[in-house]
Amino acid sequence: MLTVLIFIPVFGALIIPFLRNNQKYIKYWALAITCFELLLSVFMLINFDLSKNGYQFVENYEWIPSLGISYHLGVDGLSLPLVFLTTLLFVCAVSISMSINTRVAEYFFWFLILETSVLGVFISLDLVLFFIFWEIELIPMYFIISVWGSGRKEYSAMKFVIYTLFGSAFMLVGLLITGLSIGSFNIEELSNITLTSDNFLISPVYVFIMFFVAFAIKLPSWPLHSWLPDAHTDAPTAGSVILAGVLIKMGGYGIIRICVQIFQQEAKDLSLLLVFLGAFSLIYGAIITFRQTDIKKLIAFSSVSHMGIVLLGISAYKSNNPDVASFGLEGAALQMFTHGTITGLLFLSIGLIYDRLHTREITQLQGLVYKAPTISLFFVIASMASLGLPGLSGFVAEITVFMAAFAVWNWFTVISVFSIVLTAGYMLWLVQRVIFGDHIGDEKNLQKLSTYEYIPALLLVASIIVLGVYPSIIFEFFEQSVTAFVNNTIGV
């Protein structure tokens, strides 16, 4: 099942060269593959047994026995929603790419490879396998940014790759040390072992930091975030959607899955670092947005800020109260999920605007509501969700995280909560400048949205509203994974 899930996109990608360079066929083929993936993940969501603990749909085969590496896949309540998010956003990304007309075959080829690697990261239960998928993701993204991007695309693409590789260098060392000390790369097994300096080559704290650096770069957290605004700004629309929607979630997922679940004690000892980085990113990202003139860059910095919330939620794991700890982790996971859909929608509507007006400068975009009411509607919904309007999904995640974090870190949380004001400030200001105001220019009849542009936007709006009103559909999944883990480690 999971093998099918991750290898169908590769299969689809390998078929593309045989489609005779017919743009129409290639586009429909890619869309069909991603839709199939979405259906598959929905099927898994339905068939997932919430009453059982641990991983499901597990597949485990020996791969390289001499190093103890196995081909080990499985999902639990933490990864399955992220798998769903990935497949959903890839449908959106491919769907809005229907208007691409340069080097179509390669474009969809790389997107399908990218889907495989991201899914692989979320469902591998072997550290080396995890690392392999983590690395494979770089090459497609490098090409997507550097070929179909805009602006300083080559610089941004290279920066993205070097930053991530730098992080994964540390991760590789960390995982080799872990594997050699414990004698296993199995994530499930490692999370059940108490790591001490006695059974470790070097103190596990250093290994924790090695992993954390890799994930913090991906997340991204201040001060390792500087690749993100460049990569986001210069990537093509679908690339930004995927980058913001799922790629940076790999960082958050990695922190929860590896840093917290394997290095439990170290995660507690160093939670001051996590909360500091989280709170700082939160405020710093929010403040920096005020100076941005490019909408995409502004949203990119708001991502830095929102990912601070994830770190804040994770830092609540320090608590001795299992309810608080699990609430924090669940909030962090929910924040990742909702941020994926919200930012996906934001980048999507910015892409639609850019396709029609060929500018992303805030000053040149006044009065969009008169020219393009539908796009404006989508944009406003997304920004309201982003600033945490109750009833939309962003609010639920933020309030959960802040509640959990407040129980552990009073002052940090009090400071962090001010970011809500900042976020509301820059988002409303952005909406006011871009959507409303006197309308300038005389293009009256902007091109109407095509079906392929409507569908992804509506899908994302639907998920934002549904999660805002009834978050427990997804919360149940997180509870299945996190509550059991927290109860095991903290004890009731």
What is the contact surface with other proteins in residues (CB under 8 A)? 63-67, 102-103, 106, 128, 131-132, 135-136, 138-139, 142-143, 146-147, 154, 158, 161-162, 165-166, 169-170, 172-173, 176-177, 179-180, 201-202
Question: Is there a contact between 262 and 195 (Cβ–Cβ < 8 Å)?
Answer: yes
The C-alpha angle with vertex 405 and arms to 403 and 410, in degrees rounded to 5, equals 100
* Nearest distance, CB of residue 183 and other proteins, angstroms: 11
Q: Which is nearer to other proteins, 111 or 485 (CB)?
A: 111
* Nearest distance, CB of residue 206 and other proteins, angstroms: 9
Q: Which is nearer to other proteins, 4 or 202 (CB)?
A: 202
Question: Is there a contact between 278 and 312 (Cβ–Cβ < 8 Å)?
Answer: yes
Q: Do the bridges between strand 56-64 and strand 69-75 make them parallel or antiparallel, or are there none, so unpaired?
A: antiparallel
* Nearest distance, CB of residue 143 and other proteins, angstroms: 7
* Nearest distance, CB of residue 109 and other proteins, angstroms: 11
Give the separation between CA 422 and CA 158, rounded to whole angstroms: 32
Contacts 24+ apart (CB under 8 A), 430-434: 430/295, 430/298, 430/362, 430/383, 431/379, 431/380, 431/383, 433/362, 433/363, 433/365, 433/366, 434/295, 434/362, 434/365, 434/366, 434/368, 434/379
What one-character DSSP code corresponds to residue 37? H
Q: Residue 223 is which amino acid? A: P
Q: Which is nearer to other proteins, 14 or 458 (CB)?
A: 14
Torsion of CA 433, 437, 441, 443, to 10 degrees: 100
Q: For residue 51, what are the contacts with CB-CB under 8 A and spacing of at least 6?
A: none
* Nearest distance, CB of residue 299 and other proteins, angstroms: 26
Give the separation between CA 56 and CA 401, rounded to whole angstroms: 27
Q: Which is nearer to other proteins, 105 or 380 (CB)?
A: 105
Question: Omega into 223 within 30° of 0, i.e. cis?
Answer: yes
Alpha helices in 183-226 (DSSP H): 187-191, 204-218
Q: Which is nearer to other proteins, 144 or 298 (CB)?
A: 144
* Nearest distance, CB of residue 217 and other proteins, angstroms: 12
* Nearest distance, CB of residue 107 and other proteins, angstroms: 12
Q: Which is nearer to other proteins, 131 or 378 (CB)?
A: 131
Q: Which is nearer to other proteins, 9 or 468 (CB)?
A: 9
Q: Which two tokens stand for residue 451?
A: 């079906």
* Nearest distance, CB of residue 359 and other proteins, angstroms: 21
Q: Which two tokens stand for residue 393?
A: 């999904």
* Nearest distance, CB of residue 161 and other proteins, angstroms: 6
Closest CA to 387 of 435, 445, 339, 353: 339
DSSP secondary structure letters along 339-408: HHHHHHHHHHHHHHHHHHH---BGGG-TTHHHH-HHHHHHHHHHHHHHTT-TTSHHHHHHHHHHHHHHHH
Q: Which is nearer to other proteins, 86 or 124 (CB)?
A: 124
Q: Which is nearer to other proteins, 57 or 166 (CB)?
A: 166
